[in-house]
């Protein structure tokens, strides 16, 4: 019974994160940022790593300052890395965490491009490309791989 209640609470949190994502995609960036921050506070530093990863990943997209966006993207990657080894294999969200790695590294690469740090961008782009090999040949996988190619072209075009 307690296990089902815990699962229901986790599902409810993911639902709430999804609702805020829709709000953000609908154009209300400031309200989405406020609600994401409220969820971050509610989740806490010891919250489920997959939830922290997901929340920080989306919170990064609501930031106005590139340094703040980088900080949230780094938090997302750090939380994802907590789901490694045995812990990842035991966690119900393990496949979701693995599928996030290409996007996490792609976002970091884009952050570093905006901040004028091409070497760091290339490092994360290489990691994104490697992680993307595990993605399915579906819309998500194709979209991530296309974004990696676009960012690579942008970086290559920026070389003097």
Where do the DSSP E strands lie in the chain? none
Structure token pair of residue 91: 């966690």
Q: What pLDDT, on a 0 to 100 scale, did the predictor assign at position 18? A: 94
Residue 11, judged by CB atoms within 10 A of its CB (0-12, 13-18, 19+), counts as exposed
Q: What pLDDT, on a 0 to 100 scale, did the predictor assign at position 96? A: 64
Residues 98, 77: Cα–Cα separation, whole Å:
11
- pLDDT average, residue stretch 131-151: 94
Residues 147, 134: Cα–Cα separation, whole Å:
16
Q: Which H or E run includes 84?
A: none
Residue 45, judged by CB atoms within 10 A of its CB (0-12, 13-18, 19+), counts as exposed
Q: What pLDDT, on a 0 to 100 scale, did the predictor assign at position 78? A: 94
Query: Out of 33-42, 103-112, 118-127, 151-160, which region has the weakest mean confidence (pLDDT)?
Result: 151-160
- The share of the chain scoring above pLDDT 70, in percent, equals 83
The rounded mean pLDDT for the chain is: 87
- pLDDT average, residue stretch 72-83: 92
Query: Out of 71-75, 88-92, 93-97, 103-107, which region has the weakest mean confidence (pLDDT)?
Result: 88-92
């Amino acid at each position: 019974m307690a296990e089902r209640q815990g699962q229901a609470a986790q599902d409810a949190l993911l639902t709430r994160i999804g609702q805020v994502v829709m709000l953000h995609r609908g154009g209300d960036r400031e309200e989405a940022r406020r609600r994401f921050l409220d969820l971050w506070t509610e989740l806490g530093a010891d919250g489920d790593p997959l939830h922290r990863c997901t929340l920080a990943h989306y919170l990064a997209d609501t930031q106005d300052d590139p340094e703040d966006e980088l900080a949230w993207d780094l938090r997302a990657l750090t939380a994802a890395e907590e789901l490694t080894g045995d812990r990842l294999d035991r966690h119900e969200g393990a496949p979701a965490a693995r599928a996030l790695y290409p996007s996490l590294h792609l976002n970091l690469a884009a952050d570093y491009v905006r901040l004028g740090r091409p070497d760091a961008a290339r490092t994360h782009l290489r990691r994104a490309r490697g992680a993307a090999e595990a993605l399915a040949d579906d819309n998500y996988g194709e979209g991530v791989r296309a974004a990696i190619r676009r960012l690579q072209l942008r970086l290559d075009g920026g070389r003097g």
